[in-house]
Amino acid sequence: MNSEAGKAVILLVEDEPAVKGLFSQALKKEGYTVHEARNGVEALEVEKDIAHLDVLVTDVVMPYMKGPELARQLRAKQPDLKVIFVSGYVAPGDLGEHQALLQKPFVRQQLIDKVKEVLGEQ
């Protein structure tokens, strides 16, 4: 991870534009660098231009490519990548015991807290 707390690079993948915009704005206010994508296929393209990625925040259910498949592909390139799955349909434990999950609906502060948690900033 980057040396300063709040300076991590995040890839936010969410197919709902309004939700993506709100969460991106909240993370940027905390000092994070945020790259956005609408789906897994777009996220793979965006990731090509990022030197180092600290956290992937991705919806589980999306068109074209599901979040777990996206995480698998990105972790193949960067094994230390932290992943936070977001879903209203998945129960904790369904994604594996070592996966961070935010259940929808949630508020911006819960997202920020989860990012800080996976980065060890709390």
pTM of the model: 0.88
H/E stretch holding 108: helix 108-119
The pLDDT tens digits of the residues spanning 59-77 come to: 888 888 989 999 999 999 9
Domains and CATH numbers, the chain: 9-117 (3.40.50.2300)
The pLDDT tens digits of the residues spanning 69-119 come to: 999 999 999 999 999 998 877 655 556 655 788 888 888 899 999 999 999
DSSP assignment of 37-105? ESSHHHHHHHHTT-S---EEEEESS-SSS-HHHHHHHHHHH-TT-EEEEEESS--TTTT-TT-EEEESS
